[in-house]
Amino acid sequence: MPSVLVVIVNWRTAEMALAAAEAALIAMKGIDGAITIVDNDSGDGSEATLREGVMKRGWDRVRVIQSGRNGGYGAGNNVGIRAGLPEGGKPDYVYVLNPDAFPAPDAIRALVEHMERHPETGIAGSFVHGPDGVPHASAFRFFSLGSEFEDAAKTGPISRLLASAIVPLPTPSETTRVDWVSGASMMLRQSVLDRIGLFDEAYFLYFEETDLCLRAARAGYATDHVRPAQVTHIGSVSTGMKTLARVPAYWFDSRWRYFAKNHGRAYAIAATAARTAGGLLLGLRRLVGRCAQQNPPHFLRDLLAHGLRTGCRAVAPERGTATTAPAGSKT
């Protein structure tokens, strides 16, 4: 059986990260490898809680390392990936797992076995559902001008017209090739990471897994949604995104970066225009009383303000994608 390194990034959710590690340990039964929990400079005593929890439970396959900074989701995962296996060397696969995600006992094996059968697959994701069993969106198309307009407009006729552009795919009933998968549970082929690089740390949060899947696709590797690999996901525990009254600035930064980096600045401007047009259409429908849906407070204003601030700037180069840590970095 190939070796697997499980990486769990924690930011102020230590007890939940330990629960995720416990579920991963069960799912790693009979599989060579280890689990690394990266504390992303939580500053709330999480690191001590994690180390004490691992020691008390006697988990010899689990280690805790400190990233030294809260560089975001991708940066934290990169710290764990670069650290490699505890005994040294690289695994065959890296399994990225959210601290609020809990793989079923056979989930990791299902992902590995799928990738072993399909050498063209560089990334594989899971069927993700909530604690109530309701499926979460976990299989997706890449973002486009059409998807930006459709998602903002939230209008039946437009959604039907642009059905082929809608980003979240219906939950697959069987293993399916897709554009990208949920970052809550991703199996990454190490040899592919060695070729395309790690997560781009210029994304603080959101769009980084989409970017990685796009880079893999452009290098000739597939991304698959593996239906038998089931994972329970609570969602937005560290970010609090579900309870935020206003979309945070880092979401706008990540969205702009994704479009500008991968499709050019003109495309990013067009994507912002498409989302703005869709948002204005939604507002008009609400004004005439034909729609109950709405964007988050100040969304269009924040979107336009962000676009004006960033539209003339050069796109920053990728950060932190090298598979080896720079000299002097803290792990």
State mean pLDDT over 239-245.
56
28-64 core/surface letters (b: 16 or more CB in 10 A; e: else): beebebbbbbbbbbbeeebbebbbebbeeeebebbbb
Residue predicted with more confidence, 288 or 164: 164
The per-residue pLDDT for 243 is: 52
Do residues 239 and 254 share a domain? no
Within its chain, how far is the Cα of 76 from the centroid? 12
For the record, the structure tokens of 105 come out as 């006992």
pLDDT of 154 higher than 90:
no
Domain-ending residue, one of 243, 274, 301: 243
Do residues 28 and 119 share a domain? yes
The per-residue pLDDT for 328 is: 45
293 in a structural domain: yes
Low-confidence winner among 243-252, 289-298, 310-319 (lowest mean pLDDT):
289-298
What percent of the chain has a predicted confidence (pLDDT) above 70?
94
Do residues 38 and 91 share a domain? yes
| β-sheet bridge partners, residue 37 | 8, 64
State mean pLDDT over 169-196.
98
155 in a structural domain: no
The per-residue pLDDT for 43 is: 96
151 in a structural domain: no
Is residue 94 packed enough to be buried (19+ CB in 10 Å), middle (13-18) or exposed (0-12)? buried
**Residue 48 exposure: Cα atoms within 13 Å on the Cβ side:** 3
Question: What is the rounded CA–CA span in Å between residue 90 and residue 191?
Answer: 10
pLDDT mean across residues, the chain: 93
Amino acid at site 27: A
Domain-ending residue, one of 201, 219, 243: 243
Which residue, chain included where needed, has tokens 């698959």?
Answer: 224
Closest CA to 183 of 144, 217, 151, 139: 139
Do residues 269 and 209 share a domain? no
Do residues 284 and 227 share a domain? no
Do residues 71 and 41 share a domain? yes
State mean pLDDT over 263-267.
95
State mean pLDDT over 281-297.
77
Domain-ending residue, one of 193, 208, 243: 243
The per-residue pLDDT for 311 is: 78
Per-residue pLDDT band for 5 (boundaries 50, 70, 90) equals very high
Do residues 239 and 255 share a domain? no
Q: What is the pLDDT of residues 26-36, one digit of tens each?
A: 999 999 999 99
Do residues 230 and 297 share a domain? no
Do residues 179 and 284 share a domain? no
145 in a structural domain: no
Q: What pTM was estimated for this model as a whole?
A: 0.93
For the record, the structure tokens of 54 come out as 């691992």
State mean pLDDT over 247-270.
96
Amino acid at site 94: V
The per-residue pLDDT for 241 is: 52
Whether 25 and 62 have beta carbons less than 8 Å apart is answered as yes
Domain of residue 14, CATH code: 3.90.550.60
Do residues 50 and 177 share a domain? yes
Per-residue pLDDT band for 102 (boundaries 50, 70, 90) equals very high
319 in a structural domain: no
Do residues 43 and 28 share a domain? yes
Closest CA to 269 of 296, 309, 214, 297: 309
What percent of the chain has a predicted confidence (pLDDT) above 90?
83
153 in a structural domain: no
Number of structural domains (the chain) is 2
Domain ranges, residue 60: 4-135+171-243
pLDDT of 144 higher than 90:
yes
What DSSP element (H or E) covers 251? helix 249-263
Do residues 57 and 120 share a domain? yes
The per-residue pLDDT for 284 is: 86
322 in a structural domain: no
The per-residue pLDDT for 237 is: 56
